[in-house]
């Protein structure tokens, strides 16, 4: 059994729910075969979320970490390729902090690539019937803060650990009265199960188009 830690976020920006945590709970209730899945709900707060993640990793000692977060407006499940060393908040976090052009880790590398077979994960989600794509940016809000924090932890302290980040769309309940794309939390959970299975079974990525023109 491979031990996996999966994280989601608490609600933010006046939303009543966060689809990342909804999907993670559903995933944990019915984990993929061969995986032991533990979870952690992270605060939507710069720095504090990374501290919570580090605590969960130390507690669970997983072989793989998959962090997830809400990306309202995106139409599909997006597997992130790159974490960047910058916090630049368009809105305040849940503690009222709004850093502008600050490093996630002072003196750290400008960016890290995910330690996941990104394209294999996308292909697996699609094969499970869940729309998915590669994303070239996790933004500069708390999701990227956590993604970079995870990759820095792996690079500096836990080289055997593998991990990455997946953004998920709004759920239908969040977009009532708004013309925005959405996916049910159960569908997202199905996609995350496929992503985890691909991440565990592929030590190298597949060759497939996943680029972007803009």
80 catalytic? Reply is: yes
- Measure the CA–CA gap between 72 and 130, rounded to whole angstroms: 17
Q: Tell me which of 80, 157, 202, 214 is the catalytic residue.
A: 80
173 class by beta-carbon count within 10 Å (0-12 exposed, 13-18 middle, 19+ buried): middle
DSSP string across 4-15: EEEEEE---TT-
- Measure the CA–CA gap between 146 and 57, rounded to whole angstroms: 13
173 catalytic? Reply is: no
Q: Tell me which of 44, 121, 143, 152 is the catalytic residue.
A: 143
- Measure the CA–CA gap between 49 and 41, rounded to whole angstroms: 9
157 catalytic? Reply is: no
Q: Tell me which of 67, 121, 152, 167 is the catalytic residue.
A: 167
Question: What are the catalytic residues?
Answer: 80, 143, 167
């Amino acid at each position: 059994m491979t031990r996996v830690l999966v994280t989601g976020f608490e609600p933010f920006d006046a939303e009543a729910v966060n689809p990342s945590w909804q999907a993670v709970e559903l995933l944990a209730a019915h984990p993929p075969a061969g995986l032991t899945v533990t979870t952690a709900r992270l605060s939507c707060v710069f720095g504090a979320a990374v501290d919570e993640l580090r605590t969960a990793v130390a507690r669970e000692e997983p072989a793989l970490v998959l962090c997830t977060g809400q990306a309202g407006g995106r139409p599909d499940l997006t597997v992130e390729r790159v974490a960047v060393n910058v916090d630049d908040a368009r809105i305040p976090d849940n503690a009222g902090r709004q850093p502008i052009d600050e490093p996630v880790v002072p003196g750290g590398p400008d960016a890290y690539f995910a330690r996941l077979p990104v394209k294999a994960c996308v292909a697996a989600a699609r094969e499970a019937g869940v729309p998915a794509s590669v994303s070239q940016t996790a933004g500069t809000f708390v999701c990227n803060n956590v993604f970079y924090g995870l990759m820095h932890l792996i690079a500096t302290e836990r080289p055997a650990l593998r991990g990455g980040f997946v953004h998920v769309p709004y759920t239908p309940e969040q977009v009532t009265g708004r013309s925005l794309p959405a996916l049910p939390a159960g569908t997202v959970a199905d996609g995350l199960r496929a992503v985890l299975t691909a991440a565990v079974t592929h030590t190298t990525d597949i060759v497939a188009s996943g680029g972007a023109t803009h």
